[in-house]
């Protein structure tokens, strides 16, 4: 992904280097502060760390961010960046990226529902604990013309699902149109499905409700955790593609 940033347009001499003035217009904005730190003689490590965060926040790959730092350093100072500067930029990039991934793994920002990755993790934990495997209560919402309206609709239906199955249950978004909840296979399951269908009946042309069985063999005592996690991921991937 290309660095999508604004450009500054002043020429600046590099004091104490004997180098000719350079055009700041050749620097991507997150690295301008690094260039300024070098020009002023101030410490550049903190500026490199912030540049790493800024580049990660706009989706710049780490390799491209490091190439940008090297290009900037060669342009401003005529040398490659130091180890400390490279380490600082990489640390800032990793901090920003990992923070984003942690948020992504837990909740879908558009609907507030759990993400598919989080749903897979929770399902794997339940299966690894042994006992009767859970079922997946699935609701399919037909798409709206406007993506924001569709996300709002999915989120609203998801809240209805939570109200029926209980707030302690994991309810997640699976693909663009489906919601899945982990539910126990108990005597109350049929009544929960019936209640959910009644609550959504005003929206009958846009929703479907059903129970999805897990692949044969999941949740059996003695099954390997990796196998259970893989089976859970496959089941949800198939739902997401439907």
Q: Could you tell me the end-to-end alpha-carbon distance of the chain, in angstroms, rounded to an integer? A: 29
pLDDT at 242 over 90: no
Q: How far apart are CA 111 and CA 119, in angstroms?
A: 15
Residue predicted with more confidence, 13 or 68: 68
Distance CA 85, CA 52 (A): 10
State residue 26's pLDDT score: 63
User: Residue 236 and residue 131: Cα distance in Å, rounded?
Assistant: 20
Q: Which of 78-82, 176-180, 191-195, 214-218 has the lowest mean pLDDT?
A: 214-218
Please give the average per-residue pLDDT across 190-206, as a whole number: 82
Q: Check residue 23 and give its pLDDT.
A: 58
Integer Cα distance of 74 and 17 in angstroms: 12
Between 141 and 213, residue with greater pLDDT: 141
Query: How many residues appear in the chain?
Result: 242
**pLDDT of the residue at 146:** 80
Banded model confidence at residue 223, pLDDT cuts 50, 70, 90: very low
Give ∠ CA 6-8-9 in degrees, rounded to 5: 135
- E-assigned strand segments in 157-230: 171-174, 178-183, 207-212
For helices 29-40 and 62-77, angle between their N-to-C axes, nearest 10 degrees? 40
Handedness of CA 164, 145, 147, 178 (dihedral sign): positive
Q: What is the mean pLDDT of the chain?
A: 78
> Do the Cβ atoms of 235 and 213 come closer than 8 Å?
no
CB burial class (10 A; 0-12, 13-18, 19+) of residue 234?
middle
Token readout for 123 is: 């399902």
Residue of 48 and 108 predicted with greater confidence: 48
For the chain, percent of residues with pLDDT exceeding 90? 26
What's the predicted TM-score (pTM) here?
0.54
**Which of 98, 97, 37 minimizes the C-alpha distance to 72?**
37
Q: Which is more confidently placed, 34 or 102?
A: 34
What is the third-level CATH fold of 116-241?
Answer: Alpha-Beta Plaits (3.30.70)
CB atoms within 10 A of CB 122: 17
pLDDT in tens, 104-152: 557 777 788 988 888 888 888 887 777 777 889 999 998 777 878 888 8
Quote the pLDDT of residue 6.
Answer: 32
Least trusted range by pLDDT, from 172-176, 192-196, 229-233 = 229-233
* Contact in structure between 164 and 197 (CB atoms under 8 Å): no
- 82-110 mean pLDDT: 79
Tell me how far apart the alpha carbons of residues 168 and 87 are, in angstroms, rounded to a whole number: 42
Residues of the chain with CATH 3.30.70: 116-241
What local confidence, expressed as pLDDT, does residue 160 receive? 93
Confidence band, pLDDT 50/70/90 cuts, at residue 48: very high
What pLDDT sits at residue 88? 92
pLDDT of residue 27: 67
């Amino acid at each position: 992904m290309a660095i999508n940033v604004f450009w500054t347009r002043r020429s600046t001499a590099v004091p104490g280097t004997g180098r000719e003035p350079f055009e700041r217009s050749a620097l991507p904005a997150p690295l301008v502060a690094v260039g300024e730190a070098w020009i002023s003689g101030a410490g550049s490590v903190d500026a490199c760390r912030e540049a790493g965060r800024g580049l990660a926040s706009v989706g710049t790959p780490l390799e491209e961010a490091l190439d940008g730092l090297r290009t900037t350093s060669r342009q401003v100072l005529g040398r490659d960046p130091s180890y400390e500067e490279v380490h600082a930029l990489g640390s800032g990039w990793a901090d920003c990226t990992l923070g984003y991934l942690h948020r992504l793994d837990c909740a879908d920002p558009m609907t507030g529902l759990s993400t598919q990755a989080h749903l897979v993790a929770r399902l794997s934990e339940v299966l690894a604990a042994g006992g009767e495997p859970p079922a997946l209560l699935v609701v399919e919402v037909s798409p709206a013309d406007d993506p924001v309206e569709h996300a709002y609709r999915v989120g609203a239906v998801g809240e209805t699902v939570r109200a029926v199955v209980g707030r302690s249950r994991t309810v997640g978004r699976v693909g663009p149109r489906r919601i899945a909840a982990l539910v126990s296979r108990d005597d109350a399951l049929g009544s929960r499905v019936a209640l959910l269908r009644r609550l959504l009946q005003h929206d009958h042309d846009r929703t479907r409700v059903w129970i999805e069985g897990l692949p044969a063999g999941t949740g059996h005592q003695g099954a390997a955790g990796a196998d259970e996690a893989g089976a859970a991921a496959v089941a949800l991937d198939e739902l997401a593609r439907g």
